[in-house]
Each structure stands twice: as C-alpha cells, then as structure tokens.
Amino acid sequence: MTTTRDPRMDPESCYRAVTSRDRRFDGVFWTAVRTTGIYCRPSCPARTPAYGNVSFHPSAAAAQAAGYRACKRCRPDATPGSPDWDVAATVAGRAMRLIADGVVDREGVDGLARRLGYTPRHLSRLLLAELGAGPLALARARRAQTARVLIETTDLGYADVAFAAGFTSVRQFNDTVREVYAASPTQLRGGRGGRAGAGTVTMRLAVRTPFAGRALLDFLAYHLVPGVEVAGDGWYARTLDLPHGPGTVRLDLADEPDPDRTAFVTARFALHDLRDTAAAVERARRLLDADCDPVAVDDHLRPDPLVGPLVRTCPGLRVPGQVDGDETAVRTVVGQQVSVTGARTVTGRIVAEHGRPVVTDVPGLTHLFPDAATLAELDPAGLPMPRARGRALVGLAAALAAGDVALDRGADRDDVRRRLLALPGIGPWTADYVAMRALAHPDVFLPTDIGVRNALRGLGLHDAEVARAVAGADRWRPWRSYALMHLWNTLMPPTATRET
C-alpha cells in the first residue's frame, strides 16, 4: 500500500475510517483503489478494498493526478471540505478557500500566490507537500466538480456549464470531464437535453450532519440588513456582489438531525454572469459553515455542565459565516455598542444611500452592500452614528480599499487581527468578531459581549457565576466560537414569528 507525502495521514487510521464507512472523514482524505483505478470518499458503500490495494490522498486533485477516476457510486467530489482548513488555518487551507472562490481562474497562480504572500514556486511546493497537488491541479479538480453538479442538477446547455464552471473552452471542459469521470457530459446528464441558461442555477450544497439549519436561519434573520437580505419561514435570501456582476442566492434551511449522513441545502442562484457560479457557491458555503465537523464540536462541548445541555437541545449548530469579508467588518463596526435592532436600522440607511441598486426577482432585495472604496470617501459627520464610530468606519473602509487589511479568507488570522487593532476605533471585540465571522475562526470568545452575559443570566447564573463562567471559557477550546453561538442561540427569536 502507498500513501501521499503528507506525514500527518496515518494509513492505518485512514483504513479504519474506510472500514467503518465513517462519514466524518469525507472531505478530509480520499481513498484510491489500485485494482479498479477509481478514488472514493471514506464512506463509500461499495465493498471495502483490501488494505494492500489502497492509497490515501489529501485532496481529490491528488488522486486525479495519480491517475484515478472519481467513483460513480459515492461521488467523492461532492463532499464538504476538510474542517481542518478552518481549525489550523494553514496556507494550504487558505489557498483552498481562494481556489474554490475562483481566484486561480480569474487571476492565475500568480494572483493566488500574491494574495497568500508567497512566490508562485514556493506556494506550489507547499501545496504539493500538503495536498498532493499544485494550484493548477486543485483548480482543475474544483472546475470538474462544479461542472458535474451543473450537468446533473440543471438544464444549462453544455457551453454554459463549461464557462460557469470556469473552463476557458468547451473542448477543455469535455476533455476534463471525460478524464476525471470516465464519461462524457451527455452520459453524466443521462441523455437529458440541455437548454441555454438564463442565469438561474439551483444546486444542492453538501453539509455534514447534524445540521441545525433553523438555528442558523434564526441568527441570519435576526441580523438581516434591509435591502440586502430577506428571510421567511424556512428560507433566507440575499444579494451578492460577485467578480463579474451582481447576483442573489436563496437558501432553504431546515434541520437535519441524522448524524450518520451528509445533508444538502438547496441553493437557488440568480447570476448576472454565469462565470460567477463557483464564486457564488463558495460564498454560500462560507455562510453555511458547510465544512464544519459538528460531531467533533458537539462531542467536545456536550460534557460541559454549562453549554452541554444547549448542545443536546440544538446539535449541529453552526457559526454563520459571510459572503463578503469587507461587508462583515463594516457591519461589525456599525454594531459596536448598539442593539441589534439599532444596527439593522443604521446599516439599512447606509445601504439605501450608498449601496448599488439592483433589480432582482426576490421581493425586498434591492441593493448590493456598499463597497469599501465607496464608504472610504464618505464624510464621517454625515453618517447616522456617533462621530467617533463614523470615523472608525471610514478608516476601516479606507484600509480595506487600499488592501492594508484583507478579509478574503486568504490572509493570516493573527496578521489581520494586528492590522485591525492598529486602526483607530477598532478594539478587541470588533477584531475578534470579524475573525469569527469573516475568517471562520473556530476558537473565538467575546468575554465583554453583553449578549453573552445576558445568555448566561438567562441560564440562571447570578453575576458572580457569570464572571466565573466567562473566565473559564478556555475549557471550550478549540471550539469556543461554537460555545459562543450556543449561548447566543438562547436569545434568538424564531424566524417563523417575524417573516419579512
């Protein structure tokens, strides 16, 4: 048996996961079978191959580069990503986030390396060592995955699928699909004819279970900004500012309590330009915290006497992510030291005055969130907030517009925090909240947050016990962000009672 060059992948542990068909490892590694020439997810229901006939790969691209084709039964490319990408936040994980967003397709390997702060050659060596494939191969695997989903779940014509997935030509699309899946696009579609696309794409986004979709919806709906977001009973929608034009996404959110399988969230995208399909999908997945391993999180927090009962009540709770890091940071500054309702009102006014109007087919979605360059030009005195907070907002926007602070999931978290704290009016609460929401940091706690203290009091703790609970939050590492969400979740009103 052979393994990849990643020293962290223990073959015997991987094989035990394959033998038990443990779905928690789907997206963490891939299993290639020498006798069949295919690669699978660890939970593939097919007969378990002999130990001596398998190799383990840290990415689908690595398996493809080794000459293996994707299994037609378990669809190994349709898995959530590795939760380790957010936990460790290594260069490889940050690169995978940017590749999934289409950076290589739009800016090439040089653009990806520049965002990560490496030379292209050094970055390629790092990715090859950790993921078994370089940036071009990783981007190719992502394009193939997107293409397959579009072929099988939409009626887009093949030319539309090719360009929506990021291919530069129909020929490149056909050759890649045949090589990766050992089938033509027509065979993958099952003989159904395609039609020209009108910019609307409906897809199913994989998430690990359990998945507390209703709780995620309640949080998003409670914080929504008028004009940019709307929500109702079982769904959430918002506008998207994408590289090639505006778009919208509507997510159908429901709980999926079964911990033994992968769930899917239905996402409907309306895009000005189909080339933005991959970017739109990645940003929706960020919002869903789709790559989280909820079983690992819940197993760690469940024994705790304080948050354990909350975990048992709401298994699979996610940390809501973002579709645009700059927007998240601006909204965080607006929300400093004001109520959620007040922040929504103020942010809605800013959107109405400075956001870009768009025409959508979703009632209530009327604007894109104003970009950092637009906000950087504003007079702080004219903003509907105290002067000091207005200056902090404009200063932050200027730093974002100039590239002094990058919130695209490619930046180093510690470096981002230092740069944020160096800005006037940005304190630890703001920097840490941005790290949690914009950079998907799984281990953030906000000891000074009023909501945290109110939630603890709601659990029956008096002031001295609240202080001790806050001081003892380190016992929730490395999942303090999730413990924080469980506390906040006790304060969320259900979406069904206030459809917008």
CATH for 114:
1.10.10.60
**One domain for residues 346 and 394:** yes
DSSP code at position 375: H
**Per-residue confidence (pLDDT) for residue 480, from 0 to 100:** 97
**One domain for residues 454 and 410:** no
**Residue 486 forms part of a structural domain:** yes
**One domain for residues 410 and 460:** no
**One domain for residues 183 and 205:** no
**One domain for residues 44 and 181:** no
Q: What is the rounded distance in angstroms from the CA atom of residue 153 to the CA atom of residue 5?
A: 35
**One domain for residues 280 and 330:** no
**Per-residue confidence (pLDDT) for residue 203, from 0 to 100:** 87
Strands (E), 318-474: 356-357, 367-368
**One domain for residues 340 and 407:** yes
**One domain for residues 308 and 213:** yes
**Residue 412 forms part of a structural domain:** yes
**Per-residue confidence (pLDDT) for residue 204, from 0 to 100:** 86
Q: Which residues pair with 201 in a beta bridge?
A: 269
Q: Which tokens in the block code for residue 465?
A: 């016990």
**Residue 293 forms part of a structural domain:** yes
Single residue among 169, 189, 209 that ends a domain in this structure: 189
Largest interatomic CA distance in the chain: 70
| Distances from the Cα of 42 to the Cα of 39, 220, 239, angstroms | 9, 33, 36
Q: What is the rounded distance in angstroms from the CA atom of residue 286 to the CA atom of residue 216?
A: 12
**Residue 407 forms part of a structural domain:** yes
Single residue among 408, 432, 456 that ends a domain in this structure: 432
Domain containing residue 227: CATH number: 3.30.310.20
Residue partners of 144: CB distance under 8 A and separation at least 6:
64, 77, 165, 176, 177, 180, 181
Q: Does residue 420 contact residue 430 with C-beta atoms inside 8 Å?
A: yes
**One domain for residues 236 and 299:** yes
Q: Which tokens in the block code for residue 356?
A: 């870009």
**Residue 75 forms part of a structural domain:** no
| Distances from the Cα of 370 to the Cα of 55, 127, 348, angstroms | 48, 35, 11
Q: Does residue 221 contact residue 236 with C-beta atoms inside 8 Å?
A: yes
Catalytic residue among 6, 84, 408, 449: 449
**Residue 79 forms part of a structural domain:** no
Determine whether 40 is an active site residue: yes
Q: Does residue 334 contact residue 386 with C-beta atoms inside 8 Å?
A: no
H/E stretch holding 420 = helix 413-421
Tens digit of each residue's pLDDT, the chain (500 residues): 443 444 446 899 899 989 988 877 888 899 999 999 999 999 898 999 999 999 999 989 999 999 999 998 888 877 777 777 777 678 988 999 899 899 999 999 999 999 999 999 999 999 998 889 999 999 999 999 899 888 887 888 899 999 999 998 999 999 999 999 989 999 988 755 555 455 789 888 889 889 999 999 999 999 999 999 999 999 999 999 999 999 999 999 976 655 556 688 999 999 999 989 999 999 999 999 999 989 999 999 999 999 999 999 999 999 999 999 999 999 999 999 889 999 999 999 999 999 999 999 999 999 999 999 999 999 999 999 999 999 999 999 999 999 999 998 888 999 999 999 999 999 999 999 999 999 999 999 999 999 999 999 999 999 999 999 999 999 999 999 999 999 999 999 886 444 44
Q: Which among 279, 306, 218, 299 has a CA at the least distance from the CA of 495?
A: 218
Q: Does residue 63 contact residue 32 with C-beta atoms inside 8 Å?
A: yes
**One domain for residues 254 and 332:** no
**Residue 282 forms part of a structural domain:** yes
Q: What is the rounded distance in angstroms from the CA atom of residue 393 to the CA atom of residue 429?
A: 15
Strand ordering across the sheet containing 200-208: 200-208, 262-271, 245-252, 235-242, 229-232
**pTM summary value:** 0.88
| Distances from the Cα of 464 to the Cα of 160, 468, 475, 490, angstroms | 61, 6, 18, 20
**Per-residue confidence (pLDDT) for residue 429, from 0 to 100:** 96
Q: What is the rounded distance in angstroms from the CA atom of residue 280 to the CA atom of residue 404?
A: 25
**Residue 161 forms part of a structural domain:** yes
Determine whether 449 is an active site residue: yes
| Phi, psi for 297 (deg, rounded to 5) | -65, -50
- Number of domains the chain contains: 4
**One domain for residues 294 and 372:** no
Handedness of CA 175, 181, 187, 188 (dihedral sign): negative
Could you list the residue range(s) of the whole structural domain that residue 43 is in? 2-70
**One domain for residues 92 and 9:** no
Catalytic residue among 14, 40, 74, 292: 40
Q: What is the rounded distance in angstroms from the CA atom of residue 427 to the CA atom of residue 434?
A: 11
Domain containing residue 343: CATH number: 1.10.340.30
Single residue among 388, 404, 432 that ends a domain in this structure: 432
* 166 HSE (CA, 13 A, CB side): 29
Handedness of CA 335, 338, 343, 349 (dihedral sign): negative
